[in-house]
Structure 1
Amino acid sequence: MSAKPSLWISRKLSDATIKRARRDYEVILNEADGLSSDADIVAMSARVDAVIPCHSEHFSADVAARLDPRLKIIANHSVGVDHCDLPALAARGIAVTNTPDVLSDATAEIAMLLMLGAARRAIEGDTLVRAGNWDVWSPSFMVGKQVTGARLGIIGMGRVGQAFARKARGFDMEVHYYNRSELSPEQAGGATYHASVESLLHVADFLSLHCPATPETTGLMNGGRFALLPKGAVMVNTARGALVDEGALIAALESGQIAAAGLDCFETEPGGNPVLAQYQNVFMLPHIGSATTQTRDAMGFRALDNLDAFFAGQRPRDLL
């Protein structure tokens, strides 16, 4: 019987995932669940045949050039792969996979939470009650922005964007979207297509970002584009922090161009932005869009499915 492939799991994944991995692989687990440096990644590549990393491990061109030839596959525990230099890894003959499909609903739920929380001043209200300072009420007290019936703009109508659109229709929202290509009528579900980001922004009372971080989308929401939104719009980002120029967002909040924002990701992670933390009209979460038990199990199993196929000599389902 041949030896099991050796696998490094760079962060603590779900119990079910780790149990299955240990059944089929010789697992080296990052028990401390801490961030791995470039040096850690390079060192581990000499000890394993495969790695399941998260978005926190960065496989830059420099790292890829230093990886040991033993490492054959990177099975990401994520949908986004902007932490991987795909051409550099391909040049080293290293296969790369991701975990699409399984986290769409969980991430769309967080987008809905952020949209509602930002629109209805959840942080401000929660802080007031918790501090014991709620001592007044009137019809003008804590008035927010209504979601029901409003126009929603979605940038990036992939799996997560479509899942969010389906949930938004439950609030009778009028859905508009920008995507690299127009969807079929079945996928669009009645949403209105815009051929440019600028066209979409003009009608977006609420804006939700669901596109990947690429050189073309970095800084997608900048000062000029915030100015195109209807005054008092609400922006939600559950995709990648690099999509938003945080300095421009702060300026838009200060001017009132943006009434509120809901953010699950930031330019700096972990950590966030301490300046944004000063704003009661910014609802922030620590990048937990896919953090449900069901979804974490599904992501881990999808990554293992890709490894199983690879080591069986088959093409992994999610090979990039």
Structure 2
Amino acid sequence: MKPKVYITRRIPEHIVKRINKTCEVRMWDHEDIPIPYEILEKEIEEIDGLLCLLTETIDDALIRKAKNLKIIANMAVGYNNIDINSATTHGIMVTNTPDVLTETTADLTFGLLMATARRLIEASDYLKSGEWKTWSPMQLTGLDIHGATLGIIGLGRIGEALVRRAKGFDMKVLYSNRSRKYEQEYELGINYTSLENLLLESDFVCVMVPYTSETKNLIDSEQLSLMKENAVLINTARGGIVNEIALYKALKYREIWGAGIDVFENEPVSLDHPLLTLPNVVTLPHIGSASIATRTKMANLAVTNLMTALQNEKPQNLLNDIYFIN
């Protein structure tokens, strides 16, 4: 009998065909609507493998309903949507899709930094609305990027890729991290410092840490108050790392100059969210890894992890400690 697999969102057909060769596949066939929790509750009872996204909450209650589940393959780098401890307790493998989205996410992060600093969205809307009547010396003036100081909070793979882009703009780069990275300091020409000092000295601050209990509200009103009045905050990591209400107040009262946000604590973000009302914020719908090539690679890697586990072999990107009998 073929293993049963459920996919919680439509992925490219040629990738689904890979699984169809050896598995019985069902899929939530709605590209823009997350699968309701109650439907996933029913589906998970009989399946052997689950391929899911960050939009699905795979909690202890859901995992307990899984009778045959061997693998939860998350199509993302982050996995805070999955109760890893519960999965491990029940002998279920959990995997993610790191590495393949590093460069694409770094591209988006630096692009968001540029769009915020130079007010590109605001300027485009200004033109399209018919407000542009003449050239004026200080019209829609923004911030210089070249030669500025960039502070990176969390120097992982994406942070390192961001450094390489910043160096092309002759930026000075500071970083704070849980552990100091001497080799990267030498190779990339960057400087380690405390979070407090990074916030005090940086013109642009990029949040790049994973979301954990320790990083929840890592950037709150106290941290925002340390930043320069002409500084910009960029978050392409996870919502919840930055306190959104504190950020709104800092932006509204011009305690900092601007912000670029690709992620929110609750997604999709409500249209009445305060941050969406401010002119000095560029907001995006969580598109950090959204290139055709990268999303295809992510789907392929998630499927590879899934199929490897269903063959009772250890997947490349295993996140929890599961014992294997081959």
- Give, in whole Å, the separation in 2 of the partners of 1:236 and 1:186: 22
- Which stretch shows the higher mean deviation, 218-227 or 28-37? 28-37
1:218 maps to 2:220: no
After TM superposition, give the deviation of residue 272 of structure 1 in Å: 4.6
Q: Corresponding residue for 1:296? A: 295
- Give, in whole Å, the separation in 2 of the partners of 1:183 and 1:25: 43
After TM superposition, give the deviation of residue 249 of structure 1 in Å: 0.6
Q: Corresponding residue for 2:139? A: 141
Q: 8 Å contact 1:232–1:259 — kept in the other structure?
A: yes
After TM superposition, give the deviation of residue 42 of structure 1 in Å: 2.0
The alignment's C-alpha RMSD in Å is 1.5
Alpha carbons of structure 1 residues 126 and 186: separation in structure 2 relative to 1, 3 Å: same
Alpha carbons of structure 1 residues 165 and 269: separation in structure 2 relative to 1, 3 Å: same
Q: 8 Å contact 1:265–1:272 — kept in the other structure?
A: no
Q: Runs (4+) of structure 1 moved beyond 3 Å?
A: none
Residues matched between the structures, number: 316
Local SS of the residue matching 2:29: coil
Q: Corresponding residue for 1:246? A: 244
1:319 maps to 2:318: yes
Q: How does 1:1-320 map to 2 (within 5 A)?
A: 3-33=1-31, 34-64=33-63, 66-186=64-184, 189-194=188-193, 196-272=194-270, 274-320=273-319
**Residue segments in structure 2 that go unaligned for 5+ positions in a row:** 320-326
Q: 8 Å contact 2:19–2:307 — kept in the other structure?
A: no
Local SS of the residue matching 2:81: coil
Q: 8 Å contact 2:51–2:306 — kept in the other structure?
A: no
Local SS of the residue matching 1:315: coil
After TM superposition, give the deviation of residue 101 of structure 1 in Å: 0.2
- Give, in whole Å, the separation in 2 of the partners of 1:212 and 1:231: 26
- Give, in whole Å, the separation in 2 of the partners of 1:61 and 1:313: 23
After TM superposition, give the deviation of residue 307 of structure 1 in Å: 1.8
Local SS of the residue matching 2:152: strand
After TM superposition, give the deviation of residue 80 of structure 1 in Å: 0.2
Local SS of the residue matching 1:243: coil
After TM superposition, give the deviation of residue 55 of structure 1 in Å: 0.1
- Give, in whole Å, the separation in 2 of the partners of 1:175 and 1:14: 39
Alpha carbons of structure 1 residues 272 and 106: separation in structure 2 relative to 1, 3 Å: farther
- Give, in whole Å, the separation in 2 of the partners of 1:45 and 1:121: 46
**Between the two proteins, what is the percent identity of the paired residues?**
38
- 2:281 maps to amino acid: V
Q: 8 Å contact 1:13–1:296 — kept in the other structure?
A: no
Q: 8 Å contact 1:75–1:306 — kept in the other structure?
A: yes
- Give, in whole Å, the separation in 2 of the partners of 1:304 and 1:184: 36
- 1:8 maps to amino acid: Y
- Give, in whole Å, the separation in 2 of the partners of 1:275 and 1:157: 30
Local SS of the residue matching 1:227: helix
After TM superposition, give the deviation of residue 156 of structure 1 in Å: 1.1
- Give, in whole Å, the separation in 1 of the partners of 2:27 and 2:81: 20
After TM superposition, give the deviation of residue 14 of structure 1 in Å: 2.8
- Give, in whole Å, the separation in 2 of the partners of 1:152 and 1:21: 44
- Give, in whole Å, the separation in 2 of the partners of 1:311 and 1:191: 43
TM-score by length of 2: 0.93
After TM superposition, give the deviation of residue 7 of structure 1 in Å: 1.0
- Give, in whole Å, the separation in 1 of the partners of 2:196 and 2:60: 33
Alpha carbons of structure 1 residues 29 and 307: separation in structure 2 relative to 1, 3 Å: same
- Give, in whole Å, the separation in 1 of the partners of 2:2 and 2:170: 53
